[in-house]
Structure 1
Amino acid sequence: MGEHSLENILKFLEEANKTAQVNVVDEEISLCKKSNVIQFGAAFLPAFYYTNFLLSLVGNGLVLYIIYKYEKLTTITNIFLLNLVISDLIFAFSLPFWAVYHKSEWIFGSGLCKLVGSCYSIGFNSSILFLTLLTFDRYLAVVHAISAVQSRKKKYAFASSAIVWVLSILASIKDIVFYDVMKGQNGRLCEMTGYIQSTLTKWELIGYYQQFLFFFLVPLVIVLYCYSRITIRVMSTRMVEKCRAVKLIFVIVFTFFICWTPYNVVILLKAIKISFGDPNKCSEALDYALYITRDFAYLYCCISPVFYTFLGKKFQRHFLKLLAKRLPCLKINTLLSEPSSKSASVRSPTMITDHSCG
């Protein structure tokens, strides 16, 4: 986070040890001038972060209210959804701070620098893991429905959720340790600092490879495998709406792939450039690409609970009930047919406008 820190690498102050009469000589570092990238970030990112924050607040708040009002924590899916909502809200909490930061400078102090940096990392990482966990749970429920009955208990959901939180917190320790406020050429910065540049570069590389391998590649393989098996299972049944189910699966996988892949490919390229590229060669292309692709990943992170929730007809019905109570000018009819002995046909909820309203 805070990519414009690349232009404001900490210049260590020259110190003189008067007692030992030892002079410390600073090594000259060739810096890349990336004022265009900084201006692009300042113009584009704040508005996007504020928009993402509001979308996350409204969407995730709605999901939370529906779970509280109609669903409770009676199912494994709802427990995972609740944790996904919490992780996305934790992530969204950091966005207004980064918006102000990109617009001007870091004005919130050292403590909030560490807190916001860690919340960003914990929320972002846990979100992708909970999405993967939701996918794996759907796979168990559909493909191994009989054998999974015994294992899919509440304690399994709580234990799995606890493991995700622990992994996400462990992955963010470097942010808690290294993030701090420092003075740069364009004001106060909230960046990884406090250690020699080689140490910071090493941990930056660890963060890039960690993100690509453990928070993208592994989840992507799991998601593709699970939904492939689910699709095969659904197509082999006599389910009336199996075509709709397959279309929904395609939408989920396609959206997941489209939003997460570009960002993680750019992260991998940046890691390769740092590891094997010429440190004196300056290029702005990856910085622009990181800004743009990261925003798609952020957007998916913020709206994923709404996306996953309202694909299901049960939550659609709950939402329509909520609209009926809050907006008396709408008449909501939720039509469900009773399951027949051989096949079940489920009608979609319909919303009929009351023309007597203003």
Structure 2
Amino acid sequence: MYFPGNGSYDVLPNSSYDPCDGVAVCLSQPCDPSSSLAFTRVFIPVLYSAVFLVGLLGNGLVVGVLSRSLRRLAATEMYVLHLAAADLLLVVGLPFWAAESANEWVFGHAACKLLGALYNVSFYSSIYLLGCISFDRYLSIVHAVELYKRRRPWRVYLSCSALWLFCLLLAVPDFVFLHSMRVNGSQKCAHNYGANNSKGWIVGLRCFYHVTGFLLPLGVMGYSYLKIGLTLAQSHSSQRPRERRALKVMAAVVAVFFLCWTPYNVVMFLETLHRLGALGRDCSAEGRMDTGYILAACLGNLHCCLNPFLYALAGAKFRSRMFECLGALGCPFARQWCSVPRSQRQRHSVVTISESGDTSYSAF
């Protein structure tokens, strides 16, 4: 699995082009990586600093606002709260990876394992929670089955706890194989699977990620929101502008996920073939692939900044709670907004009609 800031430092000896024949674990590369490293030292620190600030503000705001109303949260809102928490955990590690890209890893062996595992836990949790949100909306709107709103919040807590535990188990290889080591002449936080098991571990983990971290969530979201869209399109409600807005929000959720993570999966697949020797050696192509890998991974990490806007900040219900929270803190503008009657505040909310006619969907 890729870690932000270090390119792709899974240590993999390959006898077809290994320049250090006879060494159990080779940490050098046959091509000069100076051009891609120079690009990395400038681009990643700048981008990750911006992602850190925006992600910290957006996800922190979602966590702060929703945490004030824990007992009143619906199932989907609870998932959104956990989604924001996962994205928040992801962004807090970005300054460390940015510092590594600018220079080298100076935070020690234990921090390498902990921050690397934390990144994967938050990464998988965020993606799986997106699937949970879409499936929950699918059940409540298309089938009018509100499993978690029948006053059994323990089901939501159990689902989220099981999801976090599963993602923690997925991070076990990071605790085992991540090391602070010399790579290309500098100290990096990298995976070292050993000379005999490198190919098996890399291929296995990356195939697992392609299926469970991209294709499966994309399929769940695409199917769920497609069925929701068809249900809305076939409804005879007079609230047509609201339905159109709901369709746009759902289309944006799937489109953003696809656009952010598809380039990364494509480049990772090609890079895996390249590292395993399935593709011919070419230093100029290798340099372009390294740069493309970095750009694609950075694009994927931007997704954690967009989730708050897609799932929370775009909805009238969440905005209402946010202004109430700011008003309680003494913000004059928020107090003025809170003085407006609730019926007028909800004028721009997104509402969808279920088959039973009693299920409302606001983008929180």
TM range (shorter): 0.7 to 0.9
Q: Is the 8 A contact 1:143 1:229 kept in 2?
A: yes
The answer to whether 1:347 aligns with 2:347 is yes
The answer to whether 1:328 aligns with 2:327 is no
**Aligned letter for 1:238?**
H
Distance 1:228 1:184 in 2: 46
279, 287, 291: which is aligned to 2:290? 287
Match of 2:343 in 1: 337
Question: Which one has more relative contact order, counting CA pairs under 8 Å at least 6 apart?
Answer: 2
TM-score, length-scaled by structure 1: 0.82
Q: Is the 8 A contact 2:106 2:187 kept in 1?
A: yes
Q: Is the 8 A contact 1:8 1:185 kept in 2?
A: no
Q: Is the 8 A contact 1:76 1:153 kept in 2?
A: no
Displacement, 1:32? 2.3
Displacement, 1:194? 6.4
Q: Is the 8 A contact 1:205 1:274 kept in 2?
A: no
Cα 1:247/1:144, change in 2 over 3 Å: same
Displacement, 1:190? 1.2
Larger CA deviation: 296-305 vs 221-230:
296-305
Match of 1:303 in 2: 306
**Aligned letter for 1:156?**
R
Displacement, 1:53? 1.4
**Aligned letter for 1:242?**
E
Identity %: 29
Q: Is the 8 A contact 1:139 1:229 kept in 2?
A: yes
Secondary structure of 2:93's partner? Answer: helix
Match of 1:15 in 2: none
Distance 1:317 1:181 in 2: 47
Match of 1:256 in 2: 257
**Aligned letter for 1:304?**
N
Distance 2:150 2:203 in 1: 38
Q: Is the 8 A contact 1:234 1:242 kept in 2?
A: yes
Q: Is the 8 A contact 1:56 1:302 kept in 2?
A: yes
Distance 2:167 2:108 in 1: 24
**Aligned letter for 1:174?**
P
Distance 1:25 1:131 in 2: 46
Cα 1:4/1:226, change in 2 over 3 Å: closer
Match of 2:106 in 1: 107
Match of 1:318 in 2: 321
Distance 1:293 1:212 in 2: 14
Q: Which runs of 5+ in 2 are unaligned?
A: 14-20, 350-364
Structure whose alpha-carbon radius of gyration is higher: 1
Displacement, 1:193? 2.2
* Counterparts of residues 236-251 of structure 1 (less than 5 Å): 236-239=234-237, 240=239, 241-251=242-252
TM-score, length-scaled by structure 2: 0.81
Secondary structure of 2:32's partner? Answer: coil
Displacement, 1:57? 1.4
Cα distance per residue 1:47-94 (max 9 Å; x no partner): 111221121211111111211234545321222122112211221122
**Aligned letter for 1:51?**
A
Q: Which runs of 5+ in 1 are unaligned?
A: 11-23, 339-344, 350-358
* Counterparts of residues 7-86 of structure 1 (less than 5 Å): 26=23, 31-70=30-69, 72=71, 74-86=73-85
Displacement, 1:147? 6.8
Cα 1:335/1:293, change in 2 over 3 Å: farther
Match of 2:356 in 1: none
Q: Is the 8 A contact 1:7 1:31 kept in 2?
A: no
Distance 1:337 1:25 in 2: 75
Match of 1:356 in 2: none
Match of 2:123 in 1: 124
Displacement, 1:159? 2.3
Q: Is the 8 A contact 1:182 1:189 kept in 2?
A: yes
Distance 2:148 2:68 in 1: 26
Distance 1:305 1:86 in 2: 11
Distance 1:71 1:150 in 2: 14
Distance 2:205 2:282 in 1: 22
Secondary structure of 2:347's partner? Answer: coil
The answer to whether 1:92 aligns with 2:91 is yes
Distance 2:7 2:149 in 1: 51
Across the two proteins, how many residue pairs are aligned to each other? 330
Secondary structure of 1:347's partner? Answer: helix
Cα 1:296/1:185, change in 2 over 3 Å: closer
**Aligned letter for 1:348?**
H
